[in-house]
């Protein structure tokens, strides 16, 4: 893993979210020049700022074409909604399938999108982790520890963030499987009660917890913490509790846009490039768990082992999980209302 040393403020400023306007002007495509727009989630920026130049070099050598990129990073739900509202994204690389489901339902992405790439369109995965203060002074080890009365949790808003939905599911789901809905709902209610710092995305959570020093513990992607620990002087310890949930990061071309703009060939080539050893190594260097087993084995020591790992399919898929947990009036909303009187 590449060792990097920056001060924390430099880290956070360099990774600040660049938000594109809702409607981008369409650039005329020529045989010599092609422009692509990649829309993704906040935490993905360190990976794509390194993968994109590698693809540009690869494509130039292969075809002679120059590919330029526009990039937009933000919370999952607003990013998907921006595409529906007119943001002409050629490629949607996101941290939860439900963002793609929204585009499928609106006719922007073909329903067979997952069959067009290896591993159902998922080049990388991760797990959810608990990040504590140095030395873990409160002895936080399990999902249940997040519900203790003495815990202040820095949480991400699952109404806007895919990261947050994975974080809620990682604790709620195993309890649901082992002990039933009543126990799982009780866990969720206590979790929400302890979420006293509610932020909008994973990068903001890292900023709040590390720079502003708020909270006792934060739930975030393992890759985000591996990357953060690689660039700040002092490590923040983290635990990957078991059971846990496999976090999938799917990618697809946005069919309606690439057909309109005539960019399908290059956009599909970019999504295919994400599964190459070169791209997989870059993903691993910034903390993700790559799909390529050889690359994974090279970086295996940086990942914490998890004995029991659920997948989203174990809970009925994202459409089922969203309708029960995160839809308006769902269990998360009910837990928030119950926590108002704390």
Of residues 329 and 29, more confidently modeled: 329
The pLDDT confidence band at residue 267, using thresholds 50, 70 and 90, is very high
Residue for token digits 């159902």? 120
| Region 202-215 average pLDDT | 83
What pLDDT sits at residue 261?
97
Residue 27, pLDDT above cutoff 60: no
| Region 3-8 average pLDDT | 35
The pLDDT confidence band at residue 284, using thresholds 50, 70 and 90, is very high
Of residues 150 and 214, more confidently modeled: 150
What pLDDT sits at residue 29?
52
Q: Say how far residue 17 (Cα) sits from the centre of its chain.
A: 14
What pLDDT sits at residue 205?
84
Domains of the chain (ranges; CATH) run 15-124+248-302 (3.40.190.10), 126-246+304-339 (3.40.190.10)
Of residues 71 and 340, more confidently modeled: 71
Residue 95, pLDDT above cutoff 70: yes
The pLDDT confidence band at residue 233, using thresholds 50, 70 and 90, is very low
What pLDDT sits at residue 17?
39
| Region 92-117 average pLDDT | 97
CA dihedral 12, 14, 16, 21 (to 10 degrees): 170
The pLDDT confidence band at residue 8, using thresholds 50, 70 and 90, is very low
Residues in CB range of 49: below 8 A, 6 or more apart: 71
Residue 104, pLDDT above cutoff 90: yes
Residue 13, pLDDT above cutoff 60: no
| Region 304-315 average pLDDT | 96
3-state secondary structure the chain: CCCCCCCHHHHHHHCCCCCCCCCCCCCCCCCCEEEEEEEECHHHHHHHHHHHHHHHHHHHHHHCCEEEEEEEECCHHHHHHHHHHCCCCCEEECCCHHHHHHHHHCCCCCCCHHHCCHHHHCCEEECEEEEECCCCCCCCCCCHHHHCCCCCEEEECCCCCHHHHHHHHHHHHHHHHHHCHHHHHHHHHHHHHCCCEEECCHHHHHHHHHHCCCCCEEEEEHHHHHHHHHHCCCCCCEECCCCEECEEECEEECHHHHHHHCCHHHHHHHHHHCCCHHHHHHHHHCCCEECCHHHHHHHHHHCCCCCCEECHHHHCCHHHHHHHHHCCCCHHHHHHHHHCCC
Structure tokens given for 188: 């969720």
The pLDDT confidence band at residue 16, using thresholds 50, 70 and 90, is very low
Beta bridge partners of 142: none
Residue 177, pLDDT above cutoff 80: yes
Residue 188, pLDDT above cutoff 90: yes
What pLDDT sits at residue 214?
87
Total count of residues recorded for the chain = 342
What pLDDT sits at residue 228?
80
| Region 16-39 average pLDDT | 63
Average predicted confidence (pLDDT) for the chain: 88
What pLDDT sits at residue 321?
96
The pLDDT confidence band at residue 235, using thresholds 50, 70 and 90, is low
Of residues 38 and 22, more confidently modeled: 38
Residues in CB range of 213: below 8 A, 6 or more apart: none
- pLDDT tens profile 54-65: 999 999 999 999
What pLDDT sits at residue 175?
96
User: Percent of the chain having pLDDT more than 70?
Assistant: 89
pTM over cut 0.75: yes
Please confirm whether the linkage preceding 53 is cis (ω < 30° from 0): no
Residue 6, pLDDT above cutoff 80: no
Residues in CB range of 180: below 8 A, 6 or more apart: none
Is 168 within 8 Å of 220 (Cβ atoms)? no
What pLDDT sits at residue 289?
98
What pLDDT sits at residue 156?
86
How many Cβ atoms from other residues are within 10 Å of residue 43's Cβ?
28
- pLDDT tens profile 125-141: 999 999 998 889 999 99
What is the C-alpha separation between 23 and 88, in angstroms, rounded?
Answer: 7
User: Percent of the chain having pLDDT more than 90?
Assistant: 73
């Amino acid at each position: 893993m590449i060792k990097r040393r920056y001060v924390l403020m430099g880290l956070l400023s360099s990774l600040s979210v660049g938000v594109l306007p809702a409607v981008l002007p369409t650039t005329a495509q020529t045989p010599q020049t092609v422009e692509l727009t990649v829309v993704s989630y906040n935490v993905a920026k360190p990976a794509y700022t390194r993968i994109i130049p590698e693809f540009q070099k690869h494509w130039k050598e292969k075809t002679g074409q120059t590919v330029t990129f526009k990039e937009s990073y933000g919370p999952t739900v607003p990013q998907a909604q921006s595409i529906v509202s007119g943001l002409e994204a050629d490629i949607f690389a996101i941290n939860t399938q439900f963002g793609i489901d929204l585009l499928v339902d609106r006719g922007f992405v073909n329903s067979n999108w997952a069959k067009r790439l290896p591993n159902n369109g998922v080049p990388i995965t991760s797990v959810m982790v608990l990040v504590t203060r140095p030395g873990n002074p409160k002895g936080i080890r399990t999902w249940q520890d997040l519900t203790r009365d003495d815990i202040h949790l820095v949480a991400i808003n699952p109404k806007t963030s895919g990261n947050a939905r994975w974080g809620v599911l990682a604790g709620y789901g195993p309890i649901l499987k082992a002990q039933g809905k009543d126990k799982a709902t009780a866990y969720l209610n206590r979790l929400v009660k302890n979420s006293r710092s509610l932020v909008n995305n994973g990068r903001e959570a890292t900023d709040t917890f590390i720079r502003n020093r708020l909270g006792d513990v934060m739930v975030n992607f393992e890759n985000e913490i591996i990357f953060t620990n690689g660039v700040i002087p002092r490590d923040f310890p983290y635990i990957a509790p078991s059971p846990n949930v496999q976090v999938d990061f799917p990618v697809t071309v946005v069919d309606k846009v690439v057909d309109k703009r005539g960019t399908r060939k290059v956009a599909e080539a970019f999504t295919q490039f994400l599964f190459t050893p070169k791209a997989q190594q870059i993903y691993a260097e910034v903390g993700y768990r790559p799909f390529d087993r050889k690359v994974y084995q090279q970086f295996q020591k940086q990942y914490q082992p998890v004995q029991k790992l659920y997948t989203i399919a174990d809970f009925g898929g994202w459409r089922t999980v969203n309708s029960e947990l995160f839809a308006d009036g769902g269990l998360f909303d009910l837990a928030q209302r119950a926590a108002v009187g704390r």
